Amino acid sequence: MGNVYLTGAGPGDVELLTLKAARVIKEADVIIYDRLANPDILEMSKDGCEFVYVGKEDGRHIMPQDDINEVIYQNALKHENVVRLKGGDPFVFGRGGEEAAYLQERGIGFEIIPGITSAISAPAYAGIPVTHRGVAVSFRVVTGHESPNKKVSQIPWENFRTDDTIVFLMGLHNLPKITKKLKEVGKEGSFPCAVISKGTTKEQSVVVGTLDTIIDLAKDVPTPALIVVGKVVELRKQLEWFKGEEA
């Protein structure tokens, strides 16, 4: 019976893969991967390695999570080295915990290989530090995926009144709802906000605005994209360094 490596692929730039992830990918008999994991990484694998795509788009599973869990388990029964490759970090909105629990319940050994999460690295490539002395003493990473119609929100919106940084993942379609909610709890319409698309890749694009202007500015932005709300966004003026491959 094999071992499953629940592995973070990093945010996009292949060089942001960890050495440990690179090692298990090179040794893998099968790699089960998502859309958000850069497919260039698969080229590092050995001859004969199998690839299983369990597409997952913008937080929405094309394949239900239960089926993904079962695919991983079945592969672990057949192969010695199974890599489950997930975008960013496997435990940051990656459902890696559920996959690990499924394996644990069935007596399959697993290891977690953390990855560089988009929540920190996409802002970094946009010249936005998620904390900065005198500007933000904390940051939160929040799901932007919660249904706008949900009566009782699990998100502690009331706590978001401070100037600290909030990064919303999976939130692009809910951007109008998110900005509205933040204004309801007391943030000014002029509060800084950025949307970063395809962060850390050559196609990275960044739009900077305010809670009032960002909806219009970001309306044609492709996914995956995340939203950064915070005064740290203003630091981009000075710290912008990564240009991607602009036309």
The helix-helix angle for 96-105 and 65-78 (nearest 10°) equals 50
11 scored as a contact of ligand SAH (CB under 6 A): yes
The distance of Cα 135 from the centroid of its chain, to the nearest Å, equals 24
H or E element that contains 23:
helix 19-27
- Looking at the Cβ atoms of 24 and 169, the one nearer to ligand SAH is 169
What b/e string do you get for 45-64 counting C-beta neighbours within 10 Å, with b at 16 or more?
beeebeebebebeebeeeee
H or E element that contains 194:
strand 192-197
CB of 107 to ligand SAH, least distance (A): 26
CB of 127 to ligand SAH, least distance (A): 14
- Looking at the Cβ atoms of 108 and 225, the one nearer to ligand SAH is 225
Q: 55-114: which residues touch ligand SAH (CB under 6 A)?
A: 58-59, 86-89, 92-94
Residue 180, SS3 per DSSP: helix
- Looking at the Cβ atoms of 167 and 235, the one nearer to ligand SAH is 167
- Looking at the Cβ atoms of 79 and 119, the one nearer to ligand SAH is 119
H or E element that contains 181:
helix 175-184
Q: 211-240: which residues touch ligand SAH (CB under 6 A)?
A: 224-226
The label of the residue with tokens 């709300």 reads 229
Q: Which one of the spans 46-54, 75-83, 147-155, 194-202 is the region binding ligand SAH (CB under 6 A)? A: 194-202
Residue whose C-alpha is closest to residue 53's, from 87, 24, 98 = 87
Per-residue mark of binding to ligand SAH, 112-151 (x: CB under 6 A):
-----xxx--x-----------------------------
Q: Judge whether 78 counts as a catalytic residue.
A: no
Q: Judge whether 170 counts as a catalytic residue.
A: yes
Please give the structure tokens belonging to residue 79: 């192969």
Task: Give the integer Cα–Cα distance in Å for 43 and 36.
Answer: 16
Query: Which entry of 13, 86, 89, 170 is annotated as an active-site residue?
Result: 170
- Looking at the Cβ atoms of 88 and 230, the one nearer to ligand SAH is 88
Task: Give the integer Cα–Cα distance in Å for 225 and 211.
Answer: 16
Q: Which of 196, 206, 208, 228 binds ligand SAH (CB under 6 A)?
A: 196
193 scored as a contact of ligand SAH (CB under 6 A): no
Q: In what order do the strands lie in the sheet with 139-143?
A: 139-143, 165-169, 225-229, 192-197, 205-210
Q: Judge whether 34 counts as a catalytic residue.
A: yes
Q: Which residues pair with 169 in a beta bridge?
A: 143
Q: Which of 12, 123, 209, 230 binds ligand SAH (CB under 6 A)?
A: 12
- Residues labelled as active-site residues: 34, 56, 170
Binding site for ligand SAH (CB under 6 A): 11-12, 36, 58-59, 86-89, 92-94, 117-119, 122, 169-170, 196, 198-200, 224-226
